[in-house]
Amino acid sequence: MEDQKLPCVLIDCIGEKHGVYEEHVEFLKEHFCLITMKEYIENKKILGKKIRAIYMWYHKPVINEELLQSLPNLKIVASSGVGIDHLDLNLLSRYGVKVSNTPFIVSTDTADLGMALMLASSRRLVEGYQMAVSPDTEYFPANWLGDEVSGATLGIIGMGTIGYKVAERAKAFEMKILYHNRKQRNKEEENAVGAIYCKKIDDLLRQSDFVMLAVNLTPQTHKLIGKRELQLMKPTATLINISRGLVVEQDDLVEALQNKVIKAAALDVTYPEPLPRDHPLLKMENVLITPHIGSATKKTRHLMMENMTESIQAALTSLPIPHEVLL
Ligand SMILES: O=CC(=O)O
């Protein structure tokens, strides 16, 4: 907390494991008086009235009704990333608080990660690395094989900005691209990447060598992929999830992997995150897991921070908010 002339913005903390990055703080402090949760808790009565925005960096601080009640002048919650499943939009709207997120910025990186997971899983990069560096390795076995990505069939579930960027990349890998979308088809985009629309998700599941989940988590996509859907997939297929863990019924996925109903899974997201250290998904050779890093590049995270700053400034000066999330 410093310059009291600037609008007060609540953040969770600086640095530490999940806080606002030290390198972003300098920029933020040019525009806002940052108040950490710790400072706010120590001086709720005075600071509560001053706070006008919450800078929600990776779902922190957690917002509940008690917090909202004690921030009477709160105008906006600027949330990092694209997913807003961690926010209760109805509750925020009841308190007259606006919400923004940072879509589009994250799409390229998240699509890149989807490709990385597909390639790493199919070519067994993690196992290969372990073999290459192991002190027990005496020779490289010639029969240690993976599967091809180039030329294989990729089924994208959720052709939003991220799904489309995955398709653009997959085109360069000469993949056959299928997709399923709940919203209307965009034939121009479809033609540009040579993607084939599957009206029924089941058709996509049956035909794909790789099924990539790129949907938002909503009541309609909650546990979209369960036992029935996994059984429709090829026994040689891989499930890749770059959206949210809760899009998959995780216990069914574990069972499907254990019983070789599908070949493998590559997951950037699970539930909970991180998984308990004794979770079966962490022990399977056919599972590759990354720690929810879809948008985790320096450039993207910096752009997000700038974008959140713009949204807060707009809300506090009653200008249209870039990327306002509407109920
Ligand atoms: O998960 C990341 C995001 O929602 O952008």
To the query of whether residue 228 is one of the catalytic residues in this protein, the response is no
3-state secondary structure (DSSP) of residue 317? coil
The predicted pLDDT at position 186 comes to 85
307 within ligand 1 shell (Cβ under 6 A): no
Separation of alpha carbons 232 and 225, rounded Å: 10
The pLDDT of residue 4 is: 65
Q: Is the CB of 81 under 6 A from ligand 1?
A: yes
* 269 CA: nearest ligand 1 atom: 1
* 108 to 98, 161, 165, 294: CA distances (angstroms): 26, 9, 6, 9
Distance CA 97, CA 79 (A): 12
Q: Is the peptide bond before 276 cis (omega within 30 degrees of 0)?
A: no
Q: Is the CB of 304 under 6 A from ligand 1?
A: no
Q: Which atom of ligand 1 is nearest to the CA of 102?
A: 5
Please give the single-letter amino acid code of residue 59: H
Query: What spacing in Å lies between the alpha carbon of 221 and ligand 1's midpoint?
Result: 16
> Could you give the C-alpha distances from 30 to 5, 8, 146, 231, in angstroms and in order?
11, 12, 51, 54
244, 301, 310, 323: the catalytic one is 244
Looking at residue 5, its pLDDT comes to 87
Using a 6 Å cutoff on CB, does residue 325 contact ligand 1?
no
**In which residue are the tokens 């985009």 written?**
189
- Quote the longest CA-to-CA distance of the chain: 69
User: What's the gap in Å between 323 CA and the centre of ligand 1?
Assistant: 14
What tokens appear for 161 in the block? 């900005």
Taking 50 as the pLDDT cut, the residues of the chain under it are none
Residue 315 in 3-state DSSP? helix
Give the pLDDT score at 2. Answer: 53
Residue nearest to atom 2 of ligand 1 (CA): 81
48 Cβ inside 6 Å of ligand 1: no
What local confidence, expressed as pLDDT, does residue 8 receive? 97
Which residues does 202 contact at the CB level (< 8 Å), separation at least 6? 229, 232
Tell me which residue has its CA closest to atom 4 in ligand 1: 83
Task: Mark whether 273 is an active-site residue.
Answer: yes
Distance CA 190, CA 205 (A): 19
- Kindly give the distance from the C-alpha atom of residue 253 to the centroid of ligand 1, in angstroms, as a whole number: 22
Determine whether 229 is an active site residue. Answer: no
Is ligand 1 within 6 A of the CB of residue 106? yes
Sequence letter at residue 33: C
Decide: 265 and 286 in contact? Cβ < 8 Å. yes
Using an 8 Å Cβ cutoff, are 273 and 245 in contact? yes
Q: Strand order in 8-11's β-sheet?
A: 33-36, 8-11, 51-56, 76-79, 98-100
Distance 291 CA to ligand 1 centre (A): 12
For residues 45 and 28, what is the distance between their CA atoms, to the nearest angstrom? 24
Q: How far is the CA of 288 from the centre of ligand 1 (A)?
A: 19
- Whether the pTM exceeds 0.90: the reply is yes
What are the φ and ψ backbone dihedral angles of 274, each rounded to 5 degrees? -75, 165
> Is any atom of ligand 1 closer than 6 Å to the C-beta of 83?
yes
Q: What is the DSSP string of 175-201?
A: -EEEEE-SS---HHHHHHHTEEE-SSH
User: Which residue's alpha carbon is nearest to atom 3 within ligand 1?
Assistant: 81
Cα of 58 to ligand 1 centre, how many Å? 8
Q: Which DSSP symbol is given to 88?
A: -
CA of 216 from ligand 1 middle (Å) equals 9
What percent of the chain is predicted at pLDDT more than 70?
99
**Shortest CA distance to 314 belongs to which of 301, 323, 305, 303?**
323
CA atoms within 13 A on the CB side of 23: 5
Ordered DSSP codes for 90-107: HHHHHTT-EEE--TTTTH
Q: Which of 24, 52, 180, 292 is catalytic?
A: 292
Q: pLDDT at position 182, please? A: 84
82 lines ligand 1 (CB under 6 A): yes
Burial of 196 (0-12, 13-18, 19+ CB in 10 A): middle
Alpha helices in 104-160 (DSSP H): 107-122, 125-133
